[in-house]
A and B are shown apart, each in its own frame.
Chain A
Amino acid sequence: MSAGDQELARDLGFLEAYTIGLGTMIGAGIFVLPSIAAKQAGPASMVSFFFGGMVSLLAALSLSELATGMPKAGGSYYYVNRALGPFFGSIVGWGMWAGLTFASAFYMIGFGQYFLSGLGPYIPFLAESEFGITVAALVMAAMLTGVNYYGVKETGSLQNVIVLSLVGLILAFLTLGALSGPTIGEFNPSGWPAVAATIGTVYVSFIGFEVIATSAEEIKNPSRNLPLAMIAAVVTPTLMYVGVMWVSTGTLSIGALDASNIPVADVAAEFLRGFASAIPFVSVSPGALSTAGSIAMIVGAVLATISSANASILSAARVNFAMGRDKILVEWLNEVHDRFRTPYRSITATGIITLVLIAVGAGIGTLAEVASFMYLVTYALVHVAVVVLRRAEPADYEPTFQIPSVLYPFVPILGALACLAVLFQMIVTFEPMVLLGEGVVGVEIALPFTISIVGIIGIGIIAAGIAWYYTYARDRAPSQSLVGDAIAPEPAAATGSDGRYRVVVPVANPETERDLLRMAAASAHAHEDDNAELIAVNVIEVPQQTSLSQDVAFEEERVERQQELLSAARDIAAELDIGLRTRAIVGRDTGSVILDVIEEEDADHVFLGWKGSRSTREHVLGSTIDPVVGRASCDATLVKLGPEETPGEGDVMVLAGEGPHAPVAARRAAEFVTTAGEDATLTLLNVQQPEDGDEDQSPEDRGEALIDDLAERAGIEYMQYDRQIVVAEDIEAAILEAADNYDTICVGATRSGPVTQAVFGSVPETVGEEVDRTVVMARGPEESTMSIREAIARRLSV
């Protein structure tokens, strides 16, 4: 059942992912920009579009790697925040939000132009005026906000129909336009600097492929479909844009294009005149044909601008959500509407900012350039994030798509430099800027260069992001930047605690309490030299809406049960001859309470019981277990109690695998056996595949070597233990079969770090779930990330 559910949660195949990206990219860009681009750079603006596409292709490669490594909502913001910490996270989060709202405003004005200027001649009451265009843009933006607020259902088939019609329309435009024989005049009338500057203007057309990364968690088979969809969604419009510029500048003069509010429709109208005589059997007047072509392009433009703006508003909500999750933004903004199931506050906020941007009349070119600016900053940092993550190698980052090794450092380096180069020429023009006129103090103060309006707005938004970080986010969002680890990738040395060995044991079930405490005590006994003690914790969970004190007053029964549970724990500890303290806590969330206790007590080990079934998609092992095991800074052990009477005694078996935590599991097993005394035995089991590795060594020899190595790493060579080596094709099945011969099975985590897909790794979890014995899953301490300063210090000291 749940397997089928997961399939449905991922409901985007290659075609859907591609059309979502393409639908956002064939927006206002292709319909509106030809006029602006032609004015700035003439026919050579097709070179600008081509380079814009190249910059995006590099970004698409880096983004694909990040998105398959961390398929989480929030796209680029999430990756940058994870890799570079909340300082850059704040910049990119606010930058993306700003970029998406400026882009939405740009799309909406493009919509207004086509709707009024385009249909005006045919529907007389739609008078073309600047004011009218602004009003049309405002009305449409408000409608889109409303549609997304109420969550009116869109379907994939509608999306596909719109995108495929647009592609067909543009292909027809290109084919007929090419057949009409466009004649390019002077290719580069404004010079190459203007061509470079135009890259910044048209880059807004390329921000759409980000939407694919934002939807990464919904894409089927992401390792294949995600990079393919991204690359295809960049390459297709790049070719189309270049073609459209060629046809447009070849059909109309630069002056005519510049003057047009509906350039693509005017171009179609122009070249279609020549085709009237070519139509067989029916006679069509040139005027009628050109009108039909023009109207087709207008309808296309209206659909395209709406679909782009819609995708931007939804993307903005996801960036907001991701920022709220990382505590960089107030969670209030992300509340899901009770009935419509939409993040209505975030959508409303995005809508209002978009309306304001349209209303202030910033100019369509400026809106486009600011959106481009914010995304170029974002992608520059995305490239840096790839390098940092590759070097820091956090345990939960296992991208299934990687930038091919021949391209590796070049793609992110070249990509980041390309973004910065475009940004630089957007900010600075080399004309002197007079700051203070000669008339005031007699001396003229001037800068040798001018900072553009777009540069000022863009830098202002970045500054706002930085100010936000220092005033709001810094105290709330813990720094988890991996830059330090990237500079000095060696693992940090484990630090010693204050001397007392403390084991935290959350207890909740009176039936299993005794066994759990006994096994935890076995582990504590092994550290008797360190004054070992147990800390039994029980948490009464109180829902968000009731106050903590109020709830406890009403829930005498639960409090009473808690007291019974903890007093039983004290009795058991006395029997076991181990020091025990109890803590009764009332809290919102058991998982985070336990993490707090571990922190406060400076615990060395947390020992949890588990019922033994994997839960649904949202949690791997359980809502309490996942966060504790995923984030606890100390050793963590999870025990599923088997049916036999004294778990942790009798025949104990350890899986001797190559996992990083196998020695920890072996240590746990040894502790149980030592405490149980004479009756207990210890076995190290290794499973080998028959044809694996080199030929010189038999599978048995390999297994022997591995077991010896493990015993040494675990420091249990002094003990008596048996070895068992199984040679089998199917490792998992062999493990499950062998496990039946023992009373207790110990398994080390196969992964380390706070992971999203599995807490201990798939093999340990399968053993935990399938084996009808006591199963112990163990992992060592979690390494916390290094700060940049620590990392540089470590580098220098080597």
Chain B
Amino acid sequence: MSDTLFSRVIVPVASIDDARATTRALASHVDSVAGTVVAVHVVEKAGGAPDKASVEQRERDTEEMFDIVRAQLEGYDVNLETEILYGTDVAETIVEAAHEMDASSIVFTPRGGSRWIRLLAGDVALSLISESDLPVVVLPDEPEVEDG
């Protein structure tokens, strides 16, 4: 079962911290089936109103997230692809992309946050779970291991 689930996962990363936490939780699962990780970040578009930040700025920021994913997957038997997506509805964009990329599942770790912040920032996790017609795997956020 897990063979097929982790063979080609689409991994939405929302921020630098999220990229770090998600990759940490994910690496060994995909490694064990020599699967593919498609890391994606959605640049949210207002769809006609001025955006909060310029597209160029957010694309740069996304590259930093992908760099972290890349660095953390080094040494694992994992094939990494990255893709910047653009959309007005983050969850919908991820699900659509997952279909187009033939993903076996959508994988993320929950980011916590108060109700207030969820209300303001929108709860993408909930929408993903409720809207996706592909398997969605929610991995627990593993605490960082201090080495050395």
Residues of A within 8 A of B (CB): 1-2, 5-6, 8-9, 11-12, 16, 19-20, 72-74, 148, 150-160, 211, 214-215, 217-218, 311, 314-315, 317-318, 321, 334, 336, 338-343, 541, 543-544, 554, 557, 616-618, 623
Q: Are B49 and A154 in contact (CB under 8 A)?
A: yes
Question: If A1-B97, A72-B56 touch, does A339 touch B63 (CB 8 Å cutoff)?
Answer: no
* Complex contacts, B101 vs chain A, CB 8 Å: 1
Minimum Cβ distance to chain A for residue B75 (Å) = 8
Residues of A within 8 A of B141 (CB): none
Docked-complex contact B46 and A156, CB < 8 angstroms = yes
Name the B residues within 8 Å of A150 (CB-CB). Answer: 120-121
Q: Is B143 an interface residue (CB 8 A)?
A: no
Q: Which of B1-9, B29-37, B83-91, B126-134 sits within the interface?
A: B83-91
Q: Contacting B100 at CB < 8 Å: which of A1, A218, A318, A618?
A: A1
CA of A152 to CA of B48, assembled, Å? 15
The answer to whether A155 touches B48 (Cβ under 8 A) is yes
Neighbouring A residues of B55 by C-beta, 8 Å: 9, 73, 217-218
Residue contact A2 to B51, C-beta cutoff 8 Å: no
Across the interface, which residues of B come within 8 angstroms of A336, CB to CB? Answer: 53, 57-58, 61
**Also in contact, A155 and B58, with CB within 8 A (given A8-B87, A338-B15, A616-B82):** no
Question: Is the interface on chain B under 10, 10 to 19, 20 to 34, or 35 or more residues?
Answer: 35 or more
CB–CB A338/B63 < 8 A: no
Q: Does B24 contact A (CB under 8 A)?
A: no
Residues on the B chain within 8 Å of A155, using CB: 46-49, 88
Which residue of the partner chain A has the closest CB to B64?
A544
Chain B interface mostly helix, strand, loop or mixed?
A: mixed
Q: Quick check: A321 and B54 within 8 Å, CB to CB?
A: yes
Q: A2-B83, A618-B62 are in contact. Are A341 and B44 (CB under 8 A)?
A: yes
Closest to B59 in A: A618
A11 and B48 contacting across the interface, CB-CB below 8 Å: yes
In the assembled complex, the Cα of A616 lies from the Cα of B38 at a distance in Å of: 13
Q: List chain B residues, Cβ under 8 A from A159.
A: 46, 48-50
**Chain B residues whose CB sits within 8 angstroms of the CB of A215 once the complex forms:** 50-51
- What are 15 A-B pairs with beta-carbon distances under 8 A? A5-B84, A16-B49, A72-B56, A150-B121, A154-B50, A155-B47, A159-B48, A159-B50, A215-B50, A318-B53, A318-B54, A338-B15, A338-B17, A341-B44, A343-B53
Q: For the complex, what is the distance from the CA of A691 to the CA of B57, rounded to whole Å?
A: 45
B47→A11 contact, CB < 8 A: yes
B57 touches which one: A1, A152, A334 (CB < 8 A)? A334
**Proximity bits, B67-88, A CB within 8 Å = 1, else 0:** 1100100010000001111111
Q: Are B51 and A218 in contact (CB under 8 A)?
A: yes
* A8-B87, A543-B68 known; A156-B47 Cβ under 8 A: yes
B54 to chain A, nearest CB (A): 4
Give 4 nearest A-B pairs by CB, closest first: A156-B48, A73-B54, A8-B86, A159-B49
Contact of B48 among A160, A217, A334 (CB under 8 A): A160
Residues of B within 8 A of A218 (CB): 45, 51, 55
B51 CB contacts on chain A under 8 angstroms: 215, 218, 314
Q: Which residues of B contact A541 (CB under 8 A)?
A: 71
Evaluate contact between B58 and A617: CB separation under 8 angstroms: no
- Please measure, in the bound complex, the distance between the C-alpha atom of A493 and the C-alpha atom of B90, giving whole angstroms: 52
The CA of A9 and the CA of B45, in the complex, are separated in Å by: 7
A340 and B120 in contact (CB under 8 A), knowing A215-B50, A617-B84?
Answer: yes
- Cβ contacts under 8 Å, B15 to chain A: 338-339, 341
Instruction: Name the B residues within 8 Å of A160 (CB-CB).
Output: 48
Does B26 make an interface contact (CB < 8 A)? no
Assess whether B85 is in contact with A321, with CB atoms less than 8 Å apart. no
Q: Is there an interface contact between A217 and B71, defined as CB atoms closer than 8 Å?
A: no
| A338: B residues at CB distance < 8 A | 15-18
Whether B122 is near chain A, meaning CB under 8 Å from some CB there, is yes
User: Taking the nearest CB of chain B, how far is it from the CB of A374, in angstroms?
Assistant: 20
- Closest chain A residue to B68, Cβ basis: A543
**Given known contacts A1-B101, A9-B43, A20 and B54 CB-to-CB distance under 8 angstroms:** no
Residues of A within 8 A of B84 (CB): 5, 616-618
Contact call B52/A151, Cβ cutoff below 8 A? yes
The contact of A217 among B52, B56, B120, by CB within 8 Å, is B56
Closest partner residue, chain A, to B45 (CB atom): A11
Chain A residue at smallest Cβ distance from B53: A343
Q: How far is the CB of A344 from chain B (nearest CB, A)?
A: 9
| Contact (Cβ within 8 A) A148 B87 | no
Residues of A within 8 A of B145 (CB): none
B46 pairs with A154, CB closer than 8 A: yes
CB of B48 within 8 A of CB of A16, answer yes
Q: Is there contact, CB below 8 Å, between B49 and A340?
A: no
B121, A340: Cβ atoms closer than 8 Å: yes
B120 touches A5 (CB 8 A): no
Per the bound structure, the CA–CA distance linking A683 and B20 in Å amounts to 52
Contact of A9 among B82, B86, B117 (CB under 8 A): B86
- Contact assessment for B83 and A616 in the assembled complex, using a CB-CB cutoff below 8 Å: yes
Task: Compute how far the CA of A417 lies from the CA of B16 in the bound complex, rounded to whole angstroms.
Answer: 48
Extra A-B contacts (11), CB below 8 Å, given A9-B86, A73-B54: A5-B85, A19-B48, A148-B52, A156-B48, A159-B49, A160-B48, A218-B55, A315-B50, A334-B57, A341-B58, A543-B67
For A157, the chain B residues whose CB sits under 8 A away are 47-48
Check A618–B52 contact: CB distance below 8 A.
no
A217 surroundings in chain B (CB, below 8 A): 54-56
Residues in A whose Cβ lies below 8 Å from that of B61 = 336, 341
Residue interface bits B87-99, CB-to-A below 8 A is 1, else 0: 1100000000100
CA distance A155 to B47 in the complex (A): 6
Among B46, B54, B71, B111, find the residue whose CB has the most chain A CB atoms closer than 10 A. B54
For residue A740, give the distance in angstroms from its CB to the closest CB of chain B: 29
Q: What separation, in Å, do the CA atoms of A371 and B87 have in the docked complex?
A: 35
Q: Determine how close the nearest CB of chain B comes to the CB of A292; give it in whole angstroms.
A: 30
A342-B52 contact in complex given A1-B97, A554-B148, C-beta closer than 8 Å: yes
Which partner residue on chain B sits nearest A340 by CB separation?
A: B121
Nearest CB in chain B: distance from A652 CB, A? 34
A513 to chain B, nearest CB (A): 20
Q: Distance (Å) between the CB of A526 and the closest chain B CB?
A: 37
Residue of B nearest to A551 (CB): B71
- Cβ 8 A contact of A153, one of B18, B85, B113, B122: B122
Interface residues of B in 95-118 (CB under 8 A from A): 97, 100-101, 111, 113, 117
How far, in angstroms, from A209 to B64 measured CA to CA in the complex?
Answer: 33
Residues of A with C-beta under 8 A to B97: 1
Measured between alpha carbons, how far is A318 from B56 in the docked complex, in Å? 10
Least distance between B126 CB and chain A CB atoms (Å)? 15
CB contacts (< 8 Å) of A153 on chain B: these are: 44, 46, 122
CB distance from A558 to the nearest CB of B (A): 8
B11 to chain A, nearest CB (A): 16
In angstroms, Cα B59 to Cα A340, docked, is 15
Q: Which residues of A contact B85 (CB under 8 A)?
A: 5, 8
B52 A314 Cβ-Cβ under 8 A: yes
* Complexed CA–CA distance, A160 and B47 (Å): 11
Closest CB of chain A to B14's CB: distance in Å?
8
Chain A residues contacting B59 (CB-CB under 8 Å) are 617-618
The answer for the CA separation of A20 and B49 in the assembled complex, in Å, is 7
Name A554's closest neighbour in chain B (CB-CB).
Answer: B148
Contact A623 B86, beta carbon cutoff 8 Å: no
Q: Which residues of B contact A72 (CB under 8 A)?
A: 56
Residues on the A chain within 8 Å of B45, using CB: 8-9, 11, 218
Chain B CB within 10 Å — which of A160, A339, A341 has the most? Answer: A341
Q: Which residue of B lies closest to A151 (CB)?
A: B52
A554–B60 alpha-carbon span in the complex (Å): 27
